[in-house]
């Protein structure tokens, strides 16, 4: 469950990005992330835990500063013992935005899961702080995270593995590099287990900006595939053998490009402004 | 438009196969094709026009005979002048089943389009003869054929090209090698042009057996992805620039495995028998 939002607070933005977002020529996604994190007053904590590279965090520090943030700092959590670093935790608790880099989401969950770093991120979001992440950093944001799975258009039993994420929201299951790595089958399979959540498949260079009322807006050069299984008539996931295709009927699909919106409570899609005839 | 079915006739089966169907160990799809083509009395005309290989037709001749057909013969239409071959046309007109091999669907449409071979196939189907095809041979069966297109999960403007097929049915647009070649985006794009048709995405080794009343049954080891855009709320295909993702909201999706059915008139999916609780 997401951390409790106090009565006088509004939950902060949740911003999953599909990976490979533009960082140079026209970084609209990262620029907007700075804006919703306080703009010129933004202090952004970068968490490069997913990445095995040494310079991932420093790169985002530089980008966020160039985009006008007051400060940005990479907190180099690389093993579980790092979570006791007092200065990093202090920075995290005072941040106005937190951004998780790409890499492997299981590195984030195994290194930070159950620590006060994860708790600090959950509390921050409940108190209005923007939490974003790209690729693996997007996957970790929701309660049910796709850890790994086979690519392909067909959902197959046993071919997607879920793990607990940070749990900032339990409304969605996120998948990333969506078009680029052919992942609709594994996202469908993830929803076939339990269709209460909404599947959000993010193309590269594409982000979902989800406000405190769970209204999602699409930004970037790709599309977001929304899979709404709430009207599911049948799923064979309960009886399918390992590797079998899963039979699913009655799924609702929306393909949303930049400017389109989706209300995660009402389950209503709205095209970009000006495109309705 | 499909050829007119006379009052005392019932249209024959239409059997698109997703390619790479099992031909050796347990060829359930090809065996059933023989059964619905007259079984021990079946005379199957094989049309290898899509293929550039010399032995494609002969291979299917052998398989259909081994599966119990009374006769099978490959009609080697390889250029437009071949369509005047009187003996082949005679065989085709007396066939109880016609099977088109894989290859390139544009070879079939450019070599046979508008000829009396194409007309003979349309008339045969209207008179009750089973017409099947695999891969390119599946694509050609419907009125609107996907000629080629980019792979990927996102529908993009200009990234799929349609061409006229044999037109045995105009209810569906067929795509094949569906899971294996990541084609949901191009099938969505094809439907975005005009959502009247139903998208039928066939995995490899998977077939749609469509009876004379347009009831489809799934057979084989993969799945069929049905895309029903009749409830489409919005498509930006009319205004999108080349390469843009197409925004589409309100698509209905069904993933159907072996034994599942779909009624192409009522647009109702039914799971395999015995799987409903």
Q: Which residues of B touch A177 (CB under 8 A)?
A: none
- B153 with A201: Cβ contact below 8 A: yes
> Which residue of A lies nearest to B260 if distances are taken between CA atoms?
A247
Kindly identify which residue of chain A lies nearest to residue B231, measuring between CA atoms. A252
Is residue A135 part of the annotated active site? The answer reads yes
A161: annotated active-site residue: no
Substitution target from A249, A262, A263, A266 for chain B, most B beta carbons within 10 A:
A249
Secondary structure, 3-state, A157-215: CCCEEEEECCCCECCEEEECCCCCCCCHHHHHHHHHHCCCCEEEEECCCEEEEECCCCE
Which chain B residue has its CA at the smallest distance from A269's CA?
B249
Of A271 and B4, the structure prediction assigns the larger pLDDT to A271
Neighbour-count burial of B268, counting CB atoms closer than 10 A to its CB (0-12 exposed, 13-18 middle, 19+ buried): middle
pLDDT at B54: 93
Question: Residue A13 — pLDDT band, cuts 50, 70, 90?
Answer: very high
Which chain B residue shows the shortest CA-CA distance from A222? B245
Question: A102 at the B interface (CB within 8 A)?
Answer: no
pLDDT of residue B277 exceeding 60:
no
**Average pLDDT over chain A, rounded to whole?**
91
**Contact call for B275 and A247, based on CB within 8 A:** yes
What average pLDDT does chain B have?
Answer: 92
The ipTM assigned to this model is 0.73
The region that residue B14 occupies, defined by phi over 0 for left and psi between -120 and 50 for alpha, beta otherwise, is beta
**Identity of the residue in A246, A256, A271 whose CB atom sits nearest the CB atom of B255:** A246
Q: Which residues of B are catalytic?
A: 135, 177, 204
In the numeric block, which tokens belong to residue A207? 């982000």
Tokens at A51, concatenated: 């990445």
> Does the CB of B252 have a partner CB in chain A at under 8 Å?
yes
Lowest mean pLDDT among A53-57, A207-211, B69-73, B143-147: B143-147
Catalytic residue among A21, A143, A204, A217: A204
Cross-chain Cβ contact B153/A178 below 8 Å: yes
Q: How far apart are CA B92 and CA B74, in angstroms?
A: 10
Task: Determine whether the interchain pair A236/B249 forms a contact, defined as Cβ–Cβ distance below 8 Å.
Answer: no
Residue B199 near chain A (CB below 8 Å): no
Buried b / exposed e across A135-172, counting CB within 10 Å, b at 16+?
bbbbbbbbbbbbbebbebbbbbbebbebbebbbbbebb
**Closest to B18 in 3D by CA, of B264, B220, B269:** B220
Percent of chain B with pLDDT over 70: 97
Residues of B in contact with A180 (CB under 8 A): 152
Q: What is the pLDDT averaged over residues B121-148?
A: 95
Selecting among A37, A135, A142, A235, the annotated active-site residue is A135
pLDDT tier, A277 (very low <50, low <70, confident <90, very high otherwise): very low
Token output for B19: 């390619």
What the block records as the tokens of B132 is: 């099947």
Q: Which domains does chain B have, with CATH numbers?
A: 14-270 (3.40.50.880)
Nearest to A154 by CA among A221, A240, A270, A83: A240
Q: What is the pLDDT of residue A276?
A: 55
Q: What is the pTM of this model?
A: 0.83
Residue B194 clears pLDDT 50, i.e. is over it: yes
Comparison of pLDDT for A156 and B28, the residue scoring more: B28
Q: What is the pLDDT of residues A21-30, one digit of tens each?
A: 999 999 999 9
List the one residue out of A201, A260, A211 whose CA is nearest residue A17: A201
CB contact (8 A) between residue B275 and residue A236: yes
Q: What is the mean pLDDT of residues A211-218?
A: 97
Cβ separation of B155 and A225 shorter than 8 Å? no
Q: CB distance B182–A153 less than 8 Å? A: yes
Number of helices and strands (H, E) in chain A?
A: 7, 16
Q: How far is the C-alpha of B184 from the C-alpha of B174, rounded, in Å?
A: 11
- pLDDT at position A8 is 82
């Amino acid at each position: 469950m997401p951390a409790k939002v106090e009565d006088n607070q509004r939950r902060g933005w949740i911003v999953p990005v599909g990976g490979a977002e533009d960082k140079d020529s026209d970084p609209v996604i990262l620029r907007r992330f700075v804006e919703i994190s306080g703009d010129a007053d933004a202090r952004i904590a970068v968490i490069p835990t997913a990445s095995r590279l040494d310079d991932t965090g420093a790169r985002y520090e530089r980008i966020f500063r160039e985009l006008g943030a007051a400060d940005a700092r990479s907190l180099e959590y690389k093993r579980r013992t790092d979570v006791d670093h007092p200065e990093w935790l202090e920075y995290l608790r005072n941040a106005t935005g937190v951004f998780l880099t790409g890499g492997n989401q299981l590195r984030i969950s195994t290194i930070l899961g159950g620590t006060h770093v994860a708790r600090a991120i959950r509390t921050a979001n409940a108190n209005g702080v923007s939490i974003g992440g790209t690729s693996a950093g997007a996957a970790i944001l929701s309660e049910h995270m796709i850890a790994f799975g086979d690519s392909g258009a067909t959902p197959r039993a046993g071919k997607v593995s879920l793990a607990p994420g940070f749990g900032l929201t339990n409304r969605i299951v996120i998948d990333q590099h969506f078009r680029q790595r052919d992942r609709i089958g594994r996202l469908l399979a993830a929803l076939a287990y339990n269709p209460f959540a909404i599947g959000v498949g993010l193309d590269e260079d594409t982000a979902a900006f989800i406000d405190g009322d769970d209204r999602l807006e699409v930004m970037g050069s790709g599309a977001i595939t929304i899979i709404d299984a709430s009207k599911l008539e049948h799923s064979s996931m309960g009886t399918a053998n390992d590797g079998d295709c899963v039979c699913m009927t009655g799924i609702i699909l929306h393909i949303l490009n930049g400017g389109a919106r989706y209300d995660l409570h009402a389950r209503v899609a709205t095209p970009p402004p000006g495109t309705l005839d």
